[in-house]
Amino acid sequence: MTSLTRSSVILRRRPVGEPKIDDFEMAQDAIPTPGEGQVVTRTLWLSVDPYMRGRLSDQKSYAAPVQIGAPMEGEGIGEVIASGDPAFAVGDIVLGTRLWQSHVLCKAAGLVKLDPSAAPIQAYLGVLGMPGTTAYSGMKDIGQVKQGETVVVSAASGAVGSVAGQLAKRAGARVVGVAGGPDKCLWVQEVLHFDECIDHRGGDVAGMLADACPNGVDVYFENVGGAVQQAVFGLLNPHARMIMCGMVAEYNNTERAPGPNLMSVVRNRIRIEGLIVSDKPERFAEWRAIASPWVKDGSLHYRETVIDGLENAPDALVQLLRGRNFGKMLVRVA
Amino acid sequence: MTSLTRSSVILRRRPVGEPKIDDFEMAQDAIPTPGEGQVVTRTLWLSVDPYMRGRLSDQKSYAAPVQIGAPMEGEGIGEVIASGDPAFAVGDIVLGTRLWQSHVLCKAAGLVKLDPSAAPIQAYLGVLGMPGTTAYSGMKDIGQVKQGETVVVSAASGAVGSVAGQLAKRAGARVVGVAGGPDKCLWVQEVLHFDECIDHRGGDVAGMLADACPNGVDVYFENVGGAVQQAVFGLLNPHARMIMCGMVAEYNNTERAPGPNLMSVVRNRIRIEGLIVSDKPERFAEWRAIASPWVKDGSLHYRETVIDGLENAPDALVQLLRGRNFGKMLVRVA
């Protein structure tokens, strides 16, 4: 144990619009001792994800909001430093801690022991974890891409979008990404081998998308909302599928912007479906089994943005919601 | 043969906004003679349906638009007056003629011979025909209503909505209709036995709907669009299904109104899906087999608005798009 004191990132108040660093504060207490069936972990990595904006708000959602005065919640990886469960030994690396704390007391059940030799452990928060599984489930359960179809993926360099598009390429589709800025677009085209990538900061998104999708759009993997959504919506083909994974461009809005008129949904028999990965928990292990060899052989590409220090986790979230990350946003804690 | 002259309703010009009677005109020519594999029918009934507004416009859709100078298209029932196909005899009553004409020359293949003793023949244009099948397919293929769920049906007294809601009642759901005017609402509640019916002309639709759906909405059978759609959208529960059958309140609009913001589709894993009944042609015979006994025993209720005379078919369409019909809109031709 490196310290007897535990640090936590606490929600100080609910953000209005864009979250600010001082909506959070640090707090200290003593490192707890595990009871029976519990372990205490030293946090190594925290995942920072767009969905977290929703947890900061008080509105009804699929998960309860984080309470004011309570530690922020989110996926993490830790090392067991004290165990009250015979299945876990000190030194085990585990996935499944759920708090922005330097040391987490948690139930042993539900933790997944990681093999640090199989992949860099932080990959289990990104390409092999929740975001990767989200992409996999969206494509398998809703997208069902067929060879020769056109697939558009927004936030294409992100933790979810980069996997979604690579899966669509493996299925034989024409894949068009949308990303923010030339660096991301270059990576999406040159490394991920999407057929095209459009810079949504680069002007006439609707026109560029129409040019990039001469046969219309069969599947839209939606991560952003806003103007990109409106532009893709107008290109959807008969029997198109729209995988509603997120709308990060609108998460900080205090009022909901109008959406697309749904007349074309009737005319084109479009299917629009929301996706929350935890609805199908079996997809996590499925995806780890499918994707681990691809990560090992280097055929599944991913990027990470790493911020150091638990105290910088709120800033990592603010930057993520501004699109300042490049790939999976991570906080390295220990 | 009652006459050697055939009358046709011709599209004179494409309507802008609400269709006008003089967007159509009558034309006369000689009754044709059937070739091999063809029959000539004397038209008895024509179906008038909301989707026809789309066929009058030039925009891309799932079916080609009616051409200017050509007869208007739509389902009909006729009596064979001359046959070039051994499977059809003079006097046969057939479903499947497709033109607004007093006498129709058509391929025999694709016509369905009706048994006039089984049900009033015009029922095969409504409750047992395309609208009834649309309701059935929407509920079976998208809605999948479970006992105890709340189902909202717009245009609840219409040819599609009235069947959709009765199917939801048979599935054990709480069913709330939306209709225009107290007469329709009364019929929906008292005869169709929906649990409630809201008059969308009666004021605060959103408030009335929220009161009528204290547990939210699990399935929305959408026929109208506009303000009713916006109101229902805000009440959709997690895992709700929205059957996009039509948006008749918006068909005459020259510009598309904004639609609902789709953020709740992600959060609530809502499924929105468009429905065109002809995509699943097998549903027609399935539904006739299921529903014919219910029509015979009086347990499946329906209403008809009958307009007399082929020359009044354009007015029937104008009135339908204004919601002036009560139940299935029909033109009695002969």
How does pLDDT run across B228-246, given as a tens digit for each residue? 999 999 999 999 999 999 9
pLDDT in tens, A199-238: 999 889 999 999 999 999 999 999 999 999 999 999 999 9
Using CA coordinates, name the residue in chain B closest to A275: B269
pLDDT in tens, B120-149: 999 999 999 999 999 999 999 999 999 999
Decide if B247 and A262 are in contact by the 8 Å CB cutoff: yes
- Per-residue pLDDT, B3: 53
- Per-residue pLDDT, A3: 53
Q: Does B271 touch chain A (CB under 8 A)?
A: yes
Using CA coordinates, name the residue in chain A closest to B55: A267
Q: Which residues of B200-213 are buried (b: 16+ CB within 10 A; e: fewer)?
A: beeeebbebbbebb
Using CA coordinates, name the residue in chain B closest to A277: B269
Model confidence at B294: pLDDT above 60 = yes
Decide if A263 and B245 are in contact by the 8 Å CB cutoff: no
Model confidence at B63: pLDDT above 90 = no
Task: Evaluate whether B90 touches B41 at the Cβ level (below 8 Å).
Answer: no
Q: Does A216 touch chain B (CB under 8 A)?
A: no
Diameter of chain B measured on Cα atoms: 64
Record the pTM: 0.94
- Per-residue pLDDT, A334: 84
- Per-residue pLDDT, A4: 85
- ipTM given for this complex: 0.93
pLDDT in tens, B301-322: 999 999 999 999 999 999 999 9
pLDDT in tens, B191-208: 999 999 999 998 899 999
Which residues of chain A are in CATH 3.90.180.10 domains?
Answer: 5-117+303-332
Name every chain A residue with its beta carbon within 8 A of the beta carbon of B62. 238, 267-269
Decide if A266 and B276 are in contact by the 8 Å CB cutoff: yes
Block residue for tokens 């092999």: A128
Model confidence at A278: pLDDT above 90 = yes
Work out the number of other CB atoms within 10 angstroms of the CB of residue B182: 12
Closest residue to B275, CB basis, from A225, A257, A269: A269
Closest residue to A275, CB basis, from B246, B262, B269: B269
Name every chain B residue with its beta carbon within 8 A of the beta carbon of A245. 266
Q: Does A266 touch chain B (CB under 8 A)?
A: yes
Least Cα distance to A303 among A147, A191, A225, A142 occurs for A191
Using CA coordinates, name the residue in chain B closest to A258: B261
Report the share of chain A in percent with pLDDT over 70: 99
Instruction: Quote the CA–CA distance of A45 and A41 in Å, as a whole number.
Output: 11
Q: Does A250 touch chain B (CB under 8 A)?
A: yes
Name every chain B residue with its beta carbon within 8 A of the beta carbon of A62. 238, 267-269
H helices present in chain A, as ranges: 52-55, 130-137, 161-170, 182-190, 205-212, 226-233, 263-267, 282-296, 313-321
Report the share of chain B in percent with pLDDT over 90: 93
Which residues of chain B are in CATH 3.90.180.10 domains?
Answer: 5-126+302-332
Task: Evaluate whether B198 touches B120 at the Cβ level (below 8 Å).
Answer: no
Average pLDDT over residues A56-73: 90
CATH assignment of A5-117+303-332, given 3.90.180.10, 3.40.50.1980, 3.20.20.30, 3.30.420.40? 3.90.180.10
Instruction: Quote the CA–CA distance of B221 and B137 in Å, as a whole number.
Output: 11
CATH for B130-278 is 3.40.50.720
- Per-residue pLDDT, A60: 76
Decide if B225 and A257 are in contact by the 8 Å CB cutoff: no
Closest residue to A269, CB basis, from B246, B259, B276: B276
Decide if B225 and A61 are in contact by the 8 Å CB cutoff: no
Name every chain A residue with its beta carbon within 8 A of the beta carbon of B225. 262-263
pLDDT band of residue A1 (cuts 50, 70, 90) is very low
Least Cα distance to B198 among B154, B245, B133 occurs for B154
pLDDT in tens, B87-121: 999 999 999 999 999 999 999 998 999 988 888 99
Work out the number of other CB atoms within 10 angstroms of the CB of residue B296: 11
Which residues of chain A are in CATH 3.40.50.720 domains?
Answer: 130-278
Using CA coordinates, name the residue in chain B closest to A279: B269
Model confidence at B1: pLDDT above 90 = no
Decide if B266 and A276 are in contact by the 8 Å CB cutoff: yes
Name every chain B residue with its beta carbon within 8 A of the beta carbon of A225. 262-263
Name every chain A residue with its beta carbon within 8 A of the beta carbon of B283. none
Instruction: Quote the CA–CA distance of A107 and A96 in Å, as a whole number.
Output: 10
pLDDT in tens, A102-156: 999 999 998 999 988 888 999 999 999 999 999 999 999 999 999 999 999 999 9
CATH for B5-126+302-332 is 3.90.180.10
Mean of the per-residue pLDDT values of chain B:
96
Q: Does A71 touch chain B (CB under 8 A)?
A: no
Instruction: Quote the CA–CA distance of B42 and B5 in Å, as a whole number.
Output: 11
